[in-house]
Amino acid sequence: MALDKVITRPLFIEVHRLHPFFERGTDVDVVLDLMIHDLDIILKFVDSKIKSLEAVGVPVLSDKVDISNVRLSFACGCIANVTASRISAKTMQKIRFFSPEGYHAVDYQKREIISLNKQANAEGKQQIVQNNIEVGSHDPLEEEIRSFVEAVVNRTAPLVSGEDARKSLALAVEIIRKMKTSEVLRK
């Protein structure tokens, strides 16, 4: 990801992955269908234990959860607020990182990254500077699969390790468990 060198200590992460309803993927909760991709990214940037997890999910158009919101609180102080929906009127795929170094917004749909930082101007006064980080037109999922195939063929480490994938899946399963035990769905 183009942000690997830019984001060093995120303190707040906000994610919106919203899509219109399609029959595809409705055999699983939206957490496993859409949110899991963002969980993987969050865990990549926040190397800290999860201190608390709050989750709510609502089955609206299918018998599985179609919209979910999760709040992760990490031991390092970072908070991640993640919303995934497959019942939105419009598609939105954004992740935003807030840190002492600046603000970084990734728009997966537009394939752009906007980064805002403070920098001293010629007089030494702090000003906000916007940097647009170039993102290639590659498909991240295709790149991940290609990396895996190359790793098998060349016996090298893939872009996403099996351990990383296991951690993301374990977190997704824990989120689903938490949603099922929440007051909202038990009524």
Q: Which residue has the tokens 């709050």?
A: 54
Determine the pLDDT at residue 187.
Answer: 47
Q: What is the CATH classification number for the domain harbouring 30?
A: 3.30.360.10
- Mean pLDDT for the stretch of residues 43-64: 95
Does residue 151 belong to any structural domain of this protein? yes
Does any domain span residue 70?
yes
Mean pLDDT of the chain: 89
pTM of the predicted model as reported, rounded to 2 decimal places: 0.87
The residue whose two tokens read 């990801």 is 1
Question: Does 123 map to a domain?
Answer: yes
pLDDT exceeds cutoff 80 at 139: no
The answer to whether residue 4 is domain-embedded is no
Which is nearest to 31 in space by CA: 164, 172, 165? 172
User: Which of the 8 DSSP states describes residue 32?
Assistant: I
> Can you give the residue range of the structural domain that contains 56?
12-186
Does residue 185 surpass a pLDDT of 60? no
Residue 136 lies in a domain: yes
Give the pLDDT band (50/70/90) at residue 184: low
On whether residue 42 sits in a domain, the answer given is: yes
Instruction: Tell whether 7 is covered by a domain.
Output: no
CA angle 90, 96, 98 (to 5 degrees): 155
The two tokens of residue 87 are: 């019942």
Q: Give percent of the chain with pLDDT exceeding 70.
A: 93
* Residue 175 domain-assigned (yes or no): yes
One-letter identity of residue 125: K
Number of domains in the chain: 1
pLDDT of amino acid 17: 97
